[in-house]
Amino acid sequence: MNTYELNDIVQMKKQHPCGTNRWQIIRTGIDVKLQCTGCGHIVMMSRQNFEKHLKKVLEHAENEAD
């Protein structure tokens, strides 16, 4: 179930300590890198761990067509 892409805004099951629960996906691959939209904190986690803790995709990134 790969319903997320680079630059999507996602919601995780647990809230970040800064009070925000919105994360932007800034890297995908074996690992997924997320940036908190509230404080800018960056975390990296395995794809398996990310998919386990993902609640839902809030916003899909707009694809830029050439």
Q: What is the pLDDT of residue 63?
A: 63
pTM, 2 dp: 0.83
Whether 8 shows a pLDDT value over 90: the answer reads yes
| Residue-wise DSSP of 36-63 | ETTT--EEEEEHHHHHHHEEEEEEPPPP
16 phi and psi, to 5 degrees?
A: -75, 150
Q: Flag whether pLDDT at 1 surpasses 80.
A: no
| Cα 36 → chain centroid | 8
| pLDDT tens digits, 13-38 | 988 899 899 999 999 999 999 999 99
